[in-house]
Chains A and B, each alone.
Chain A
Amino acid sequence: MDAIYKLIQHYAPKIPDLLALALAVLLPIAIVMGVFLTVFALLTWVERKALGRIQNRRGPNRVGPVGLFQPVADGLKLLTKEDIVPAAADKVVHFLAPVLTVVPAFMVLAVVPVAKGFVPVDLNIGVLFALAVSTGSVLALFMAGWASRNKFSLLGAMRSVAQVVSYEVPMVMAAVVILMAAGTLSSVGIVEAQRGLAGWFVFKPWGLVAFVIFQLCAMAEVARTPFDLPEAESEIVAGYHTEYSGFKFALFQMGEYVAAITMGGITVTMFLGGYLGPGSDLPKIGWLVSAGWFFAKLGIIVVINIWARGTWPRVRVDQLLGFAWKLLLPLALVNIVAMAIWHFASNKLVGWGASAVVLAVAIVALVKINTGQTFEKRSYRFIS
């Protein structure tokens, strides 16, 4: 934003200072929000198309070419729908909850470096800011569930709190190894630390494990389908947004999708080298190439999300919580040790192998501990 301010002063020195100031502040916000809202609209279309294909049907294909204007039609339709507020609900909280769900989703955007030299604000605690702010959505979900005064809503809210709180822990612990390697919390600094051939953190054994943990936790955090217990329609109608209709419902959907995209952006930044890629340092068009790399990588994460949604059935509550506490969390802690082995090893190749072995042993042991208890030797009785 400093750069934009200087640009404005350079090219249009006649502009009053206050206006230049307003432009310099609001322009980056408008750009990131505009870009990510477009991505969000496209994502809803891509997701419905992809899910359609997975389920052997066509998906939206009526509005516009290949159904491309479906998101616009959805938005307009939801704008003109009646907004029903249950008589028993807590009106104020019922109104505030959908507003609050989209705020944390957008706030994370403030620290995502979208292209080389373009990040709305390069906080020196960027990643911590993103992780802390993204958790704020759980407050909104609980407000929604509680204010609706509906048993389904309350159950959904309870589940979402338990789920987000549980998955926050392995997520934060998985991020620790990245900070150890990069030596900074700034999102731009983390991207710059991944320069070089195979420099992306996902190409290291500890980085790969952290990436898988982080990605799973990000999916659970925004309640995407294998982990969508808070809104399990076969059990509790629609969970926390049972009592929401019209545009408030749309805001919940928007919050969920934008959060999925922005968490994907954080994942790309931390593990997949952010905007780095061949040609991202070119003098004139570097910013465009780097933005292309960022969104290509974001696309990969989005496809993983959709694919997982189309492939896996929903997990049970006990499986969900056990998975976070008994598998992902211990694994994330072992991962810190593996990173330290990699760091302190005299030879990089030895460090690579040793950390990989430690992680493999840990994964096998943890899976054994977690599944070993449920299998018992079957006893057969034959009738002769």
Chain B
Amino acid sequence: MDVCGVSNFNVFPCVNDPYLTQYLFVAVFVLVAVLFPLVPLALVRVLAPRKPSPTKNATYECGLVSKGDSWIQFRAGYYLYALVYVIFAVETIFLYPWAVAFGGLSFGAFVAMMVFVLLLVEGLVYAWAKGALDWK
């Protein structure tokens, strides 16, 4: 049967691009994965008892009343790790295509990539020497 006037073997009949077919499938998968936890949560609405009280809905703090707000500024230590992470996450974008093509590359291409990696290792060594990687 022909839905879109094109005969093809695609699952999504109106899409001829194989990439698009795959990512449409991924989109459906996301939808199912999101709906999956929502169904039992809807069931909980029906099944579970609901008896809220001020004490029960208070912030948990081992029996004491919580002091001050918890939405506060947090220590910068986490921020340093995130910065170093960003450097290496960007490196990944360059490293992965190179790694996939590695089988057909020359020795020179390998050296070139190692120089690039070393530049980033220099950053890691700097952070290490400065003590940014030490949890204090």
Contacts and interface: CB of A to CB of B under 8 A. Distances in A.
Interface of A: 1-2, 5-6, 16-18, 21, 24-26, 29, 33, 79-88, 95, 98-99, 102-103, 106-107, 110, 120-123, 128, 146, 148-154, 158, 161-162, 165-166, 168-169, 172-173, 176-177, 179-180, 183-185, 237, 242-243, 246-248, 250-251, 254, 317-318, 321-322, 325-326, 329-330, 333, 336-337, 340, 343-344
Interface residues of B, number: 69
B107 to A, nearest CB: 6
For the residues of B in contact with A, the DSSP-based class is helix
Contact of A336 (B10, B78, B117, B134): B117
A103 B32 CA distance: 9
Contacts of A80: 47-49
B88 A169 contact: yes
B42 to A, nearest CB: 10
A247 B128 contact: no
A117 B131 CA distance: 50
Given A33-B32, A123-B26, A99 B81 contact: no
A151 B11 contact: no
The SS class assigned to the A binding surface is helix
Contacts of B12: 21, 25
20 contacts: A1-B11, A1-B25, A18-B3, A25-B25, A82-B51, A86-B60, A102-B37, A103-B34, A107-B29, A120-B29, A128-B96, A148-B59, A149-B70, A149-B71, A172-B89, A176-B95, A243-B60, A246-B48, A248-B41, A329-B124
B28 A29 contact: yes
B50 A82 contact: yes
A170 B128 CA distance: 16
B47 A150 contact: no
Interface string B15-56: 000000010011011101110111011011001111110101
B47 A321 contact: no
A17 to B, nearest CB: 4
A165 B38 CA distance: 28
